[in-house]
Amino acid sequence: MSRIGILPIEIPQGVNVTISDDNVVVVKGPKGELKQKVDKDITLNIEGNHITVSRPTEQKRHKAMHGLYRSLVNNMVHGVSQGYKVEQELVGVGYRAEAKGQILELSLGFSHDIHIQIPNEITISTKTERRANPIITMESADKQLIGHVAAKIRSLRAPEPYKGKGIRFVGEVLRRKAGKSASA
C-alpha cells in the first residue's frame, strides 16, 4: 500500500473542490483556482471535508500514480488556501535584481542585463538593502509553476563551490571546496 497515497486530504474552510466526469480536479480558494487532469485509472472521492485517492490494482504503474496524484491534489489544496513562497538571494559583487511589473531585470556579471518575463500567476518583488545581498521573493498558489520559475532563475548563475557566488535559495547550505593550497 502506498504510504502517501492512502492519506486523506483535508479540505480547509473556504476551499471548494470539484471533480468532473473526465477526471479533471478543480480547486478554488482565496488565493486562486487550479486545475489538474487525473489519470482515468485513479479514483478520487470527496467525503465531507476529505478527499481520498484510490487505485484499482497493485500494478507498479498504479502504485506510482496513486502517490503522485494524491501529492498533486494536496499541493493544489494547500496552494489555493495558504499559497507558496520562494526566496532567492544573489550572492556576488555587483549582482542586482529589480522587478518592474512582471519583468525581472537581473544584473549577474555578464556583459548585458537579463530580462525575464514572469507568469501572471506569480507575484514577484525584490528587496535590496545596503550591505546585504539582493533578495527575490515570489509568491503563488501553483507549486509546480513557482518551482519551475525559481529553478530557471537559479540556472542563470548557479552558485559555484569555491566562493559561493551565484543565485541560491535563502537558507540553502552549499558544499564548499577548498581552493588551491598556498605554496610556501
pLDDT of residue 103: 96
pLDDT of residue 28: 95
**In terms of Cα–Cα distance, which of 9, 29, 21, 23 is closest to 73?**
9
Mean pLDDT across 24-50:
94
Query: Same fold for the domain at 9-81 and the one at 84-169?
Result: yes
Reported as a pLDDT band with limits 50, 70 and 90, residue 183 is low
Mean pLDDT across 35-51:
93
pLDDT of residue 13: 93
φ, ψ for residue 75, nearest 5 deg: -65, -35
Grid coordinates of 170: 535563502
**Digit-coded pLDDT (tens) for 65-109:** 999 999 999 999 999 999 999 999 999 999 999 999 999 999 999
- Domain extent listing, the chain: 9-81, 84-169
φ, ψ for residue 127, nearest 5 deg: -135, 125
Q: pTM of the prediction?
A: 0.89
Number of other CB atoms surrounding residue 125 within 10 Å: 12
Scanning the structure block, which residue is given the C-alpha cell 557566488?
Answer: 165
Task: Order across the sheet with 114-117: list the strands.
Answer: 96-100, 103-107, 114-117
Q: Give the class (CATH, top level) of 84-169.
A: alpha beta
Mean pLDDT across 116-130:
95
CATH of domain 9-81: 3.90.930.12
